Chains A and B, each alone.
Chain A
Amino acid sequence: MRVDQYLPSYWSHDAIGNHVRQVGRALRVSGIDSDIHAAAVDRRLEREVELWRPVPGERRPDRLILYHLSVDSDMSDWLVEEAKAGQRVLVYYHNITPAPFFEGWLPEVGGGLARARRQMAALAPFVELALAPSHHSLAELEEAGYRATAFCPILVDLDEYYEPADPAVLQDLRRRREGGGADWLFVGRLSPNKCQQDVIAAFAVYRRLFDRRARLTLVGGATVPAYREALVGQAEELEVAGAVTFRDGVTSRELLARYHSADVFVCLSEHEGFGVPLVEAMTVGLPIVAYAAAAVPETVGAAGVLLDDKDPVRVACAVAELLGDPARRRELAAAGQQRAEAFDLDRTSAQLIDLLRPVLETPRSRRKRPVAAPAASPNGAG
């Protein structure tokens, strides 16, 4: 038995790359052979993967392909051909960002995302089982024609967040806090769908209204350079440039230091297929204020302040209210840590294997009915 994972690109410090690595480990621990095949790969990870080429693959009745779907790729068209030739295919759907978010910024990316949606639909009839980490994504799979779907949490090693943070960064951040002022944090690529412009706007209003010494850190690389420039321009225009820090290429230990030294995690994203940084924030007990969009409410559950409106004054007031109420902060931090336990790696790995094993043990010809989707995610989210 083997399950080979395929994905268009495999990067380090990337939620999908980390998930794929953990899925491979979970499969091997369960006695299921598994390799990773990627069309593009981070040079540091070359030894972990086989470079994919669009040539007919090895077809064995005991081999399944698990394809990680999130962007457009020739790999998807190739999979359709492989499936037609008898290859069994499963999908893990990480979600595709809606193209309109990018059309005004990077049209070619918008075009690629529109193509990814078409490829997702074209692949649907050939997929035995499609998995997704949120009910938001499951609904999209069903809408695209996937008949057999199941909830399967993303695999993330949260034990890393119990390791010591980078001491130099932590010391530096603590020194910065000595002067007073709250620390806002958001972690996620600088990307139009994550709406960092709303975080900056709310932060600017918060500084004027409640805390002139507050600081905001936005951690994440720029998907769209012009969008980053617009955010920098926005901070200048609102006269908060000196209080807003953009950080890219941070190490895990630096990220950990930033989580530990922040007072609040503010997420005003309009599109998240899951939201790994939300789980990271919950793990370290950092309270969350978030806009209730896409999969954010089901990821956060009751462990954060969810807003149905992200007007800057409204968000600033919500943050001020939370930071001014130590009991509420402690309550949310505890709820977050409890919520994060649902994403414990041993637990999520077992859930994945439980979903895959029946598919692996049943030859294709005998699988007459699709696998039924479980009704709810762990911890009652969704």
Chain B
Amino acid sequence: MSTSDVQDAEQRLEALAPGYAELARRVAARIARRDPGGVRTSVAFARVVERSRLDLGAPIASRLPGVRLVKGTVRALIRWYLRWIDDQINGLVRALLVAHDAVAARVETLEERAGRTGEQVRALEGRVERLERAQSACDQ
């Protein structure tokens, strides 16, 4: 199908259902946008979780002979302790995220509904405007 065929179809649709193609695009784009209104709070928290894991592989390189071995030994000896602390930090952050998510999900649902209602109102306003114009043309 050529570009002109698609343009013809677009014009035909506009005549049949004014604004419908734009509405279809806008609603799909809203769903695809994934991150409306900047970074969502739940996204921000998820990033905190993602980055909260401590890196237990501290660098052990050294120019002094034997120091690398000492550093490596110390790292190996305290690894279990650091992992224990790391697990607790992660557990705490995850628990906070679960609590936060419950609130964020509610807020985001309300935002989504409000946005959808706004778009419906704008579409209705446009329709009323077109009807008014048509009416005044008839009156004249």
- Chain A bound to chain B: yes
Interface assignment of A198: CB less than 8 Å from any CB of chain B: yes
Interface assignment of A17: CB less than 8 Å from any CB of chain B: no
Contact digits for B67-106, partner A, Cβ 8 Å, 1 yes 0 no: 0000000000000000000000000000001000100010
A104 touches B36 (CB 8 A): yes
Interface assignment of A78: CB less than 8 Å from any CB of chain B: no
Interface assignment of B132: CB less than 8 Å from any CB of chain A: no
Interface assignment of A204: CB less than 8 Å from any CB of chain B: yes
B21 touches A313 (CB 8 A): yes
Interface assignment of B9: CB less than 8 Å from any CB of chain A: yes
A107-B42, A313-B6 as given contacts; A101 in contact with B34, CB under 8 Å: yes
CA distance A163 to B50 in the complex (A): 46
Interface assignment of A231: CB less than 8 Å from any CB of chain B: yes
Choose among A108, A197, A198, A230 the residue that contacts B112 (Cβ–Cβ < 8 A): A230
Choose among B9, B50, B101, B120 the residue that contacts A316 (Cβ–Cβ < 8 A): B9
CB distance from B90 to the nearest CB of A (A): 12
CA distance A370 to B93 in the complex (A): 42
**Taking CB as reference atom, which chain B residue is nearest A202?**
B24
CB distance from B43 to the nearest CB of A (A): 5
Interface assignment of B133: CB less than 8 Å from any CB of chain A: no
Interface assignment of A205: CB less than 8 Å from any CB of chain B: yes
Instruction: Identify which of A109-117, A258-266, A352-360 touches chain B.
Output: A109-117
B16 touches A238 (CB 8 A): no
A195 touches B32 (CB 8 A): yes
CA distance A316 to B105 in the complex (A): 34
Choose among B13, B42, B101 the residue that contacts A209 (Cβ–Cβ < 8 A): B13
Choose among A104, A198, A204 the residue that contacts B34 (Cβ–Cβ < 8 A): A104
Interface assignment of B27: CB less than 8 Å from any CB of chain A: yes
Taking residues whose C-beta sits less than 8 angstroms from the other chain, chain A's interface range is 35 or more
B20 touches A111 (CB 8 A): no
CB distance from A250 to the nearest CB of B (A): 24
Interface assignment of A311: CB less than 8 Å from any CB of chain B: yes
Interface assignment of B63: CB less than 8 Å from any CB of chain A: no
Contact digits for B19-36, partner A, Cβ 8 Å, 1 yes 0 no: 011011101100111111
A209 touches B12 (CB 8 A): yes
Inside 8 A of A237's CB, which chain B residues have their CB? 23, 27, 116, 119-120
CB distance from A106 to the nearest CB of B (A): 9
Interface assignment of A188: CB less than 8 Å from any CB of chain B: no
CB distance from B65 to the nearest CB of A (A): 25
CB distance from A91 to the nearest CB of B (A): 22
B34 touches A238 (CB 8 A): no
Which B25-56 residues sit within 8 Å CB-CB of chain A? 25, 27-28, 31-36, 40, 42-43, 45-47, 49-50
A197 touches B40 (CB 8 A): no
A313 touches B13 (CB 8 A): yes
B34 touches A103 (CB 8 A): yes
Choose among A114, A197, A233 the residue that contacts B32 (Cβ–Cβ < 8 A): A197
B13 touches A317 (CB 8 A): no
Contact digits for A93-137, partner B, Cβ 8 Å, 1 yes 0 no: 000000011111101101100110000000000000000000000
Interface assignment of B5: CB less than 8 Å from any CB of chain A: yes
CA distance A198 to B43 in the complex (A): 24
B49 touches A104 (CB 8 A): no
CA distance A202 to B33 in the complex (A): 17
Interface assignment of A226: CB less than 8 Å from any CB of chain B: yes
Interface assignment of B64: CB less than 8 Å from any CB of chain A: no
**Taking CB as reference atom, which chain A residue is nearest B41?**
A107
A107-B46, A111-B50 as given contacts; A317 in contact with B9, CB under 8 Å: yes
B27 touches A104 (CB 8 A): no
A107-B42, A237-B27 as given contacts; A208 in contact with B20, CB under 8 Å: yes
8 smallest beta-carbon distances between A and B, as pairs: A104-B34, A107-B46, A201-B28, A197-B31, A104-B35, A201-B24, A111-B50, A197-B28
Given A103-B35, A104-B34, A313-B9, 7 extra CB contacts under 8 A = A204-B24, A208-B17, A231-B31, A234-B27, A237-B23, A237-B120, A238-B24
B-to-A contact residues, CB < 8 Å = 1, 5-6, 9-10, 12-13, 16-17, 20-21, 23-25, 27-28, 31-36, 40, 42-43, 45-47, 49-50, 97, 101, 105, 108-109, 112, 116, 119-120
